[in-house]
């Protein structure tokens, strides 16, 4: 079960960066309470042929931020109209939540000068052999939740609703 959480954690990263806009919540599903799995720390790559804006393959680096929180980063080169190259790096932190037997990754982009109060992006994470599959919680949810318990209760009631998830992406560890 711990391996499953770790794989799920890696999957969330790719979905956030390379699919449509997932639902963004101002509250996580719950507080970090699932210990990280060190087997999922390291370098991960999208298995779906996605490309960064510079044409490179997306690479995600997963690190331990605390006993219950992962740190995630991804980088690519960006070129301006004069051909000047700038390295663009995005940082996230996230944790796993469990609802029944379904694992979710709560992912939050670290605040910066543009994104001053980021919300949580939510992903269902599944392990399929040696790959991780991440499915974003759909942005079709037109409700803002004021508490984690309210959000968790909503997700529990709708786990079997096929419209709850969209934008699946697969990842593998390098």
Distance CA 3, CA 12 (A): 15
Contact 132, 149 (CB under 8 A): no
Distance of CA 60 to the CA centre of its chain: 11
What pLDDT sits at residue 18? 41
User: What pTM does this model have?
Assistant: 0.78
Written as six digits, the tokens of 12 are 């969330």
- Rg (alpha carbons) of the chain, rounded to whole number: 16
Residue identified by tokens 């639902």 is 23
Low-confidence ranges of the chain (pLDDT < 50): 3-19
């Amino acid at each position: 079960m711990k391996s499953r959480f770790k794989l799920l954690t890696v999957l969330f990263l790719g979905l956030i960066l390379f699919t449509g806009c997932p639902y963004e919540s101002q509250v996580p599903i719950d507080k970090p309470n699932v210990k990280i799995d060190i087997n999922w720390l390291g370098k991960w790559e999208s298995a779906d042929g996605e490309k960064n804006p510079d044409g490179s393959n997306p690479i995600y680096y997963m690190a331990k931020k605390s006993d219950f929180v992962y740190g995630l980063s991804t980088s690519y080169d960006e070129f301006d109209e004069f051909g000047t190259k700038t390295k663009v790096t995005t940082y996230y932190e996230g944790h796993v939540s469990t609802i029944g037997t379904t694992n979710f990754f709560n992912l939050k982009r670290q605040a910066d000068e543009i994104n001053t109060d980021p919300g949580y992006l939510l992903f269902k994470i599944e392990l399929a052999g040696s790959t991780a599959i991440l499915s974003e919680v759909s942005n079709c949810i037109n409700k803002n939740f004021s508490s984690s318990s309210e959000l968790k209760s909503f997700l529990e009631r709708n786990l079997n609703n096929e419209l709850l998830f969209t934008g699946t992406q697969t990842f593998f560890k390098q």
